[in-house]
């Protein structure tokens, strides 16, 4: 009986430890992705979202595209990713560059920008 109780206690400790190790990087990774996404969105050689969109905290914002506010109310993550990947798929007359289709941004960069833009 003692061996069984010890084994159960050890297993519970291991599960708790693994659970905490698994959760910690996710929140750090998400926060890092949002910050990286903001840097990419504001970077003139990458996303350059400010060339066309007004974004809180951005300087010299453009007014060709809509202001990026309340995005999570208008888009879910997958629809926003499609929009950034190739906006012409939904609107052939758009002036928004197809960032993914034309390899302006990598898949990872687009994912980070999506995470950031969803916070606006």
> What value, to the nearest 5°, has the Cα angle with vertex 55 and ends 101 and 96?
25
**Full domain range(s) for residue 74:** 30-117
Could you tell me if residue 43 is inside a domain?
Answer: yes
CATH number (domain holding residue 86): 1.10.760.10
Q: Which residue intervals of 43-105 are DSSP H helices?
A: 71-74, 77-85
Could you tell me if residue 11 is inside a domain?
Answer: no
Tell me how many domains the chain contains: 1
Is residue 113 pLDDT above 50, yes or no? yes
Could you tell me if residue 20 is inside a domain?
Answer: no
> What value, to the nearest 5°, has the Cα angle with vertex 60 and ends 72 and 111?
35
Instruction: Enter the pTM of the model.
Output: 0.73
pLDDT value of residue 5: 54
Cα–Cα distance measured from residue 97 to residue 72, given in angstroms and rounded to the nearest whole number: 21
Query: What's the residue count for the chain?
Result: 120
Structure token pair of residue 41: 């969105």
Could you tell me if residue 81 is inside a domain?
Answer: yes
| Model confidence pLDDT, tens digit, residues 33-80 | 899 999 999 999 988 999 999 999 888 878 889 999 999 999 999 999
Is residue 19 pLDDT above 90, yes or no? no
- Residue 92 makes CB contacts below 8 A (sequence gap 6+) with none
């Amino acid at each position: 009986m003692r061996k069984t109780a010890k084994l159960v206690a050890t297993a519970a400790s291991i599960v708790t430890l693994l659970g905490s190790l698994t959760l910690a990087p996710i929140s750090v990774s998400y926060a890092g992705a949002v910050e990286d996404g903001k840097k990419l969105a504001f970077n003139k050689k990458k996303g350059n979202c400010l060339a066309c969109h007004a974004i809180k905290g951005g300087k010299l914002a453009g007014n060709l595209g809509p202001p990026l506010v309340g995005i999570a109310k208008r888009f879910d993550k997958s629809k926003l990713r499609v929009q950034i990947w190739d906006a012409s798929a939904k609107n052939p007359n758009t002036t928004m560059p197809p960032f993914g289709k034309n390899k302006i941004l990598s898949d990872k960069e687009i994912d980070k920008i999506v995470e950031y833009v969803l916070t606006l």
